[in-house]
Chain A
Amino acid sequence: MRLWMLGIAAIVLSFISLFIGAINITPMDLLDWESDETHIFLISRIPRLMAIILAGAGMSIAGLIMQSLSRNKFVSPTTAGTLDAAKLGILISMLFFTNVTYTQQVIFSFAFALAGTFLFMQILDRIKFKDVIFVPLIGIMYGNILSSITTFLGYEADLLQNLSSWLMGSFTLIIAGRYELLYVSIPAIVLAYIYANKFTVAGMGEDFARNLGLSYKLVLNIGLVLVAVISTTVVLTVGVIPFLGLIVPNIVSLYLGDNLRKTIPHTAVLGIVFLLICDILGRIIIHPYEIPVNVTVAVIGSAIFLTMLLRGRAYAK
């Protein structure tokens, strides 16, 4: 697959995404600057598209970095507790401050996502049996433990309702003024590209990296910070999108290999294409209502993931 093909697909799908929805908007409507349609286009459709693009590229790249650094094809923010830790952070911030500000939520969520992912990497360092399937299973259990703490605290503090809104990844509520945090992930994505070679080298193991004079621990920590930044911004604005960081990097790895300098652009664009398809499907299946994107992603993603598991076990080793 060529990058320009993915690029064209992304542009076409973006265009479709802008012109479907409960209210029918055509490109002609936009000629009238004062019309309701233009208004909706600017405060809802464009922010939604931007959110999809940033979340799609961001989560896919976060998954790619984690797979490279953990040297396991099935580790991603959803299978290593990153997102569960971020949610726990949001809850703790709500418990600590009676009038929690957005900034406080962001900081807590980020700190927890970082600490949670770091802890997972520490666990990974200690276990001897590093099977491709076993490691993500540990990650999922670990995430569920974090999640159950969140649920318990949420139940005690009567915040479960609030919490469930973060459990569900959806672009329905994205309007101008409610998604701008996602722009923070842009520098993280750019940094990921700048560090691509270092991540590839680190992905070949500590001894290998140190032989080439790379400061392994530093690169590892930078990678984890980038993953935490991206995951936090997505959870806080869109919610949890499963499978994205898992399947997109794996598909790219199948046809392009594991040299991150080469695969990061593909991973980003394929992530955008995949998320756009899922969101558009969710918007047309029961039009004029919507199916949240995490449902469509989960259905399509789990099918792809199962296929990968059944056919690709040899490759993942």
Chain B
Amino acid sequence: MIEIKGLTKQFGKKPVVEDVTVTIEPGTITSFIGPNGAGKSTLLSMVSRLLEADTGEVLLDQNNVKKWKSSDFAKRVSILKQANYLNVRLTVRELVSFGRYPYSKGRLSAADEKFVDQAIEYMNLADMENKYLDELSGGQKQRAFIAMVIAQDTDYILLDEPLNNLDMKHSVQIMKILRKLVDELGKTVVIVLHDINFASVYSDRIVALKDGRLMKNGPTSEIINSDVLREIYDMEIPIQEQNGCRICVYFNSHT
């Protein structure tokens, strides 16, 4: 279990995250949503230890994440930030193999190879495993990076805006895969999303932030309603039910 307790972070004098307390439920998809500058990515970076908090703490299994050994932590929690700018020429398979680095330190055992095979299979990348990343489309590249995280085989997978720059088809593919990771493999996924409809349709829980403060935290059904969303986004957002999904129709609303 990951517990975020009273987390605060300032950049210069500007507080970016202020006194946020959230518990991440295991075995769920939890989406972080909120307007620009709400502190979603900063919060995610602190949970994954990429940033150090000014005050407050993050606990993984009751132990402060700062106290975890790097290599042990990398076997429990993985984070993928926006990775499309990467210009390293690796093949898909090489990239996915590096997901095993926390276990193998680069010398893959037969068991490691099996994890790599499975991750590639899972993300439907088998026919392009020997292609270089720079030959792939944005969606394929994103899948390759997620395959790497799957090979890393952590209980917690944190993703910072994984749908950025992806078209609708690839966005849906990625979200379906994340759903499968939770439902079939029992992973816990924490994801920063811009599109509230993806959050509404695919996540179990939603954490809503605004100006660095926690606004709401609860099951998706409680957050996706017009009253709550008005408070978060300062916008009238009507909601329509479609095949059991709640869709926010905000495109022509008053701002």
User: Are A and B subunits of one complex?
Assistant: yes
Residues of A participating in the B interface, judged by any CB pair closer than 8 Å:
71, 73, 196-198, 200-201, 203-205, 207-208, 210-215, 253, 257-259, 261, 315-317
Task: Say yes or no for B106: interface residue by CB 8 A criterion.
Answer: yes
Inter-chain contacts of B132 with A (CB < 8 A): 257
Q: Which among B88, B94, B102, B134 is the interface contact of A212 at CB below 8 angstroms?
A: B102
Interfacial chain B residues near A214, Cβ < 8 Å:
70, 101
State whether B74 touches A211 (Cβ < 8 A). Answer: yes
Contact B71 A258 (CB under 8 A): no
Task: Say whether B94 contacts A257, CB under 8 Å.
Answer: yes
Contact A213 B90 (CB under 8 A): no
Given contacts A214-B101, A257-B89, A261-B106, is CB(A207)–CB(B50) below 8 Å?
Answer: yes
Q: In the complex the two chains form, is B86's CB within 8 Å of A212's CB?
A: no
Question: Would you call B87 an interface residue if the criterion is a C-beta within 8 Å of the partner chain's C-beta atoms?
Answer: yes
A-side contacts of B32, CB under 8 Å:
none
From A71, A200, A215, contact of B70 by CB (8 A): A215
Q: Sort A-B residue pairs by CB-CB distance and give the 6 closest, nearest first.
A: A213-B74, A197-B106, A213-B71, A257-B89, A213-B70, A258-B89
The one of A73, A211, A261 in contact with B48, judged by C-beta atoms closer than 8 angstroms, is: A211
Interface residues on chain B, number (Cβ under 8 Å): 30
Within the complex, what minimum Cβ distance (angstroms) separates A75 from chain B?
Answer: 13
Contact: B79 with A207, CB < 8 Å? yes
Whether A204 pairs with B49 at a CB distance below 8 angstroms is no
Q: Which residues of A contact B79 (CB under 8 A)?
A: 207, 211
Q: Which residues of B contact A257 (CB under 8 A)?
A: 89-91, 94, 132
Which residue of chain B has the shortest Cβ distance to A256 in the bound complex? Answer: B89
Residues of chain B within 8 A (CB-CB) of A253 are 89
Q: B101 touching A213 by the CB < 8 A rule?
A: yes
State A207–B152 Cα separation when bound (angstroms). Answer: 15
Complex CA distance for A207 and B160, rounded to whole angstroms: 12
In contact, A213 and B73 (Cβ under 8 angstroms): yes
- Is B30 interfacial (CB-CB < 8 Å)? no
The secondary structure that dominates the B interface is: mixed
B235 within 8 A of partner (CB): no
Given the complex of chains A and B, what is the CA–CA distance between A213 and B48 in angstroms? 11
Interfacial chain B residues near A196, Cβ < 8 Å: 106
* Residues in B neighbouring A201, C-beta threshold 8 A: 98, 101
Chain A: which residue is nearest B51 at the CB level? A207
Residues of A within 8 A of B91 (CB): 257, 259
Contacts A71-B87, A259-B94: A212 and B101 contacting too (C-beta < 8 A)?
Answer: yes
Nearest-neighbour CB distance to chain B for A298, whole angstroms, equals: 27
The answer to whether A211 and B106 touch (CB under 8 A), given A197-B101, A201-B101, A258-B90, is no
Given A212-B152, A258-B88, 15 more A-B residue pairs with CB atoms under 8 Å apart are A73-B87, A197-B106, A200-B88, A201-B98, A207-B81, A208-B81, A208-B83, A211-B78, A211-B79, A213-B101, A215-B70, A257-B91, A261-B106, A316-B87, A317-B87
Cβ contact within 8 Å between B74 and A212 = yes
Contacts of B72 in A (CB 8 A): 213
Does B80 lie at the interface of the complex (its beta carbon under 8 Å from any beta carbon of A)? Answer: yes
In the assembled complex, which residues on chain B have CB atoms less than 8 Å from the CB atom of A316? 87
Give Cα A160–Cα B152 distance, bound, in whole angstroms. Answer: 57
Asked if B105 lies at the interface with its beta carbon under 8 angstroms from chain A, I say: yes
**A315: nearest residue on chain B (CB-CB)?**
B134
Q: Is the CB of A212 within 8 A of B98?
A: yes
What A residues does B106 contact at CB under 8 A? 196-198, 261
Can you list 18 A-B pairs, Cβ within 8 angstroms, ordered by A? A71-B87, A197-B98, A200-B90, A200-B98, A203-B88, A204-B98, A205-B86, A208-B86, A210-B70, A211-B152, A212-B74, A212-B102, A212-B152, A214-B70, A215-B70, A259-B91, A315-B134, A316-B87
